[in-house]
Amino acid sequence: MIIYPDLELRKGRLVNLARNRIDSPIIYDLDPIMAARNLAAQGAEWLHVVDLDAVFNDGENTAIIKDIISKTSCPVQVGGAIRSMEKVHSWMEAGAGRVVIATAAVKYPHLVKAAATAYPDSVVVSIDARGGHVAIEGWTEATTFTPIEFAHQFENIGLAAIILTDIDRDEDHPESSIAHTTELAAKIRVPVIASGVVKTLDDISTLSYLPNIAGVITSRALFGGAFSFSEAHAIATAAHGPTAQLQ
C-alpha cells in the first residue's frame, strides 16, 4: 500500500482545511517545494498535490506545483479544478504523473472517459462522500447517488485509481468508520485510495490489510505530527512487503 503525502496549497502556502473551510485553513510552516523534496528523499512513491485556490476559484498555484514536479524525484498526482481536456493536457505536458478529476467527474463524466483514453492509467477520479452519498463543489452540494453507484461507470476505462474521501470520518462524526471505504474497495475493480480516514498509525495498519486499498492520502495527521512519513511508510509496506508503484 502506498502512502500519498497530501500537499494542499493555498496562496503559495502548505495548508489543510478543517471541515473544508477555506476561510480558516490550518497553515504549516513548511516550504511546499522543500517539503516535497524531503518526502521524496524519505522514500515517498507518490505525492498528492492539490491547488485549493483553483478549487475555490480564488487564484492558482500552478507555478509552485510545476516546481514541485520538476524538482522532486517522485511522481506527482495533481488535483484542483481540472475540468477540461485542456487542463488535463496542460498538467500531463508539465510532467504530472497523474491528474485527479473530482467535481467535473460528476458533472462531465465524458471528460473522465476522454482523459483516460488519452492518458491510460494516469487519470484518477476523486469521490467525496457524506452520509453515504457523493458530494461536490468542495463538499457544499449533495447528490442522490452513492459512491458505489457513481464509481461503477468508470470501471472499464483504464483509470489509475479512485480516491474516496469519507467526509464524515474526516470531520470526526461519532458514527463514522472506515466501512464506506472498505465497501467501495470490495465492490469495484479499480484500485481505491482512501482519504479522510487516517488519524493514527493503527488506521494505516488496518487499511494495509484490506483488499483493493492501494493507498492512503494523509495531510493533517502527517504534517500535524501524529506520525512521520517514515513511520507510516514502514507500516504500509510491512504487511505485504514493498508495494509495486502504481503507474
User: Catalytic residue among 6, 45, 51, 128, which?
Assistant: 128
Q: Give the DSSP per-residue string, 136-186.
A: ETTTTEE-SS-HHHHHHTTTTS--SEEEEEEHHHHTT-TT--SHHHHHHHH
DSSP category for residue 19? G
Catalytic (active site) residue 166: no
Please give the Cα distance from 151 to 162 (Å, whole number): 8
Whether 182 and 216 have beta carbons less than 8 Å apart is answered as: no
User: Does residue 110 come out as left (phi exceeding 0), alpha (psi in the -120 to 50 range) or beta?
Assistant: alpha
C-alpha cell at 108: 462531465
Give the C-alpha separation, 9 to 6, whole Å.
10
For residue 209, count CB atoms less than 10 angstroms from its CB and return exposed for 0-12, middle for 13-18, buried for 19 or more. Answer: exposed
Q: How, if at all, do strands 141-142 and 133-136 pair?
A: antiparallel
Does the annotation mark 183 as catalytic?
no
Question: 84 and 62 in contact (C-beta within 8 Å)?
Answer: no
Query: Catalytic pick from 8, 45, 168, 203?
Result: 8
Q: Which residues are catalytic?
A: 8, 128
